[in-house]
Structure 1
Amino acid sequence: MLETKDLTIRFGGHVAVSSVSCAFAPGTLTAIVGPNGAGKTTYFNLISGQIPASEGTVTLNGVDISRHSASSRAKAGLGRAFQLTNLFPNLSVLENVRLAVQSMRSGAHRRGMNLWSIWSDHGALTERARQILQDVSMTAQADVPVSSLPHGDQRKLEVALLMALEPQVFMFDEPTAGMSHDDAPVILDLIRALKKDKTKTILLVEHKMDVVRELADRIIVLHNGQLVADGDPAEVIASPVVQQAYLGVAPEATKEAA
């Protein structure tokens, strides 16, 4: 479904991501791990279109989307939670989710900006929005302005909006970062539920190895911007290259290259 070929980004003389080629199949949750500064979030930014690549391509369902904007990639089926954080902060939680649901319904693209005039005509949209809020345990916050939500609830709302947009590819960048001990399991349960849909592809950047062990079908490891390991979670976690990377020691291959 999703593939990167020789994806590279340079910032001046620094190569943050170097020729990463990887394919991600439907029905698979791939965890992207590596030490701080390994290039994980930058790789996500390249895939989702937040920054343009210096070299290489991103394809979705066989279509080259390398030159597409972030919003165009989202419409094509790439969903990244953090992109949605600031959607209508002065509207309520329910109104935000309802607008996201409405944008995905048949014919919404033909209505252009005429969303407000048909707001009250879609009880089904409101019902769907309420169901999504129930799924993310935010029913009690339905009427709360988004701008006043605490951090944990903002992260849950990100997932709710992402679910409303019904993407083909779900991209989660440390989804439980900064969340309380009580809130984090809600997000992880949502990801577990999304995994059951074998038509979807899930990418997960995560530092917590217990979460990775439980959720991942596959692990890829980035180190100094390079793809250094790819495979079964147990084997990858136990591999010397990963142990060295997490200890901050360059892999043997990197040492030899130097």
Structure 2
Amino acid sequence: MVLQTDGLTRQFGQLTAVDGVSLEIDDEEVTSIIGPNGAGKTTFYNLLTGVLEPTSGAIRLRSDGELREITDDPPHEVARRGLSRSYQITNVFEGLTVRENLRVARIAREGRTLDFRSRAGSNEAANEQIDWLLELTNLAEYADTECDELSHGEKRKVEIALALAIEPTVFLLDEPTAGMNPTETRKIVSLIHRLNDEIDATFVVTEHDMDVVTDISDRIVVLADGAVLAEGEPAEVLADERVTEAYLGSEAL
């Protein structure tokens, strides 16, 4: 087990957005978290990453070989402990090249403040790590291209590379194929498979495209009204009538 929540709850006034969610994420599995709009998925991610404080409950992350509580940690500390996230809306430094974006992420990982255009470029170990990330995410040919010149699909790859640059234990992917055409979607799915095979990180995914979900997932968790409705292997979960009613038959697809 690499990530655990225990009775995790978040209320906004009278609204309970996340309602007593208790989950255990296995490091050997790709887990997809699905549910209709308003099910609590984004709030759940915001709780895990320290963006929001829970009303009650606990979050534990495996860090340095031990399961440690991170419930009250701020976002930068959660990231430093090994929980990384990509966002539904692409979030990169548009005016920098792909390589410069990754240098910024490596500097943040190392907790240093540098002029990334000069001194950071002379850090041989960091440069080797950046080159490896560029190859891993199929971005080597775009290394010196400014991000505002990239396609939507390539920008999403940059964001994934940025999240990987902090060497996460757990990587939360938030709607990784949002806004993509079928070709871009296939490339991202292929990349997720490759990353899962080649790096020592556990992937947790939110996604509306059920073809993508069934392709990449070892386990599915369904949220509805902020609570866990069903969880298990994809075939089992997707055959559940409650899931069909709450999600597959909704307008969210």
TM-score above 0.5, yes or no: yes
Letter in 2 for 1:174: E
Residues 1:245 and 1:157: Cα distance change in structure 2 (over 3 Å): same
Conserved? CA contact 1:78–1:170, under 8 Å: yes
Q: Displacement of 1:198 after TM fit? A: 8.0
Q: C-alpha deviations, 1:51-91, integer Å up to 9, x for none? A: 11111111112211111111110000001012995454432
What's the counterpart of residue 225 of structure 2?
224
Conserved? CA contact 1:136–1:187, under 8 Å: no
2:85 to 80, 88, 95: 80
What's the counterpart of residue 233 of structure 1?
234
What's the counterpart of residue 182 of structure 2?
181
Q: C-alpha deviations, 1:23-49, integer Å up to 9, x for none? A: 111111111111121111211111111
Answering whether residue 113 of structure 2 is matched by residue 113 of structure 1, we say yes
Letter in 2 for 1:94: R
Alpha-carbon separation, structure 1, partners of 2:99 and 2:92: 12
Conserved? CA contact 1:137–1:186, under 8 Å: no
Letter in 1 for 2:201: K
What's the counterpart of residue 190 of structure 1?
191
What's the counterpart of residue 15 of structure 1?
16
Residues 1:120 and 1:80: Cα distance change in structure 2 (over 3 Å): closer
What's the counterpart of residue 100 of structure 1?
105
Q: Displacement of 1:220 after TM fit? A: 0.7
Letter in 1 for 2:184: D
Conserved? CA contact 1:97–1:129, under 8 Å: yes
Q: C-alpha deviations, 1:151-187, integer Å up to 9, x for none? A: 3222111111122221000110110101232222222
Task: State the aligned residue count.
Answer: 244
What's the counterpart of residue 45 of structure 1?
46
Q: Displacement of 1:124 after TM fit? A: 4.2
What's the counterpart of residue 205 of structure 1?
206
Letter in 2 for 1:38: A
What's the counterpart of residue 169 of structure 1?
170
Residues 1:84 and 1:127: Cα distance change in structure 2 (over 3 Å): farther
Name structure 2 gaps, 5 residues minimum. Answer: none
Q: Displacement of 1:140 after TM fit? A: 3.1
Answering whether residue 73 of structure 2 is matched by residue 68 of structure 1, we say yes
Alpha-carbon separation, structure 1, partners of 2:69 and 2:121: 39
Please give the root-mean-square deviation of Cα atoms over the aligned residues, in Å.
2.3
Alpha-carbon separation, structure 1, partners of 2:20 and 2:241: 22
Q: Displacement of 1:197 after TM fit? A: 5.2
Report the TM-score when normalising by structure 2: 0.87
Answering whether residue 248 of structure 2 is matched by residue 243 of structure 1, we say no
Alpha-carbon separation, structure 2, partners of 1:198 and 1:98: 20
Alpha-carbon separation, structure 2, partners of 1:234 and 1:198: 26
Query: Which of 1 and 2 has greater Rg?
Result: 1
Report the TM-score when normalising by structure 1: 0.85
SS at match of 1:176: coil
Residues 1:196 and 1:137: Cα distance change in structure 2 (over 3 Å): closer
SS at match of 1:36: coil
Residues 1:135 and 1:185: Cα distance change in structure 2 (over 3 Å): farther
SS at match of 1:23: strand
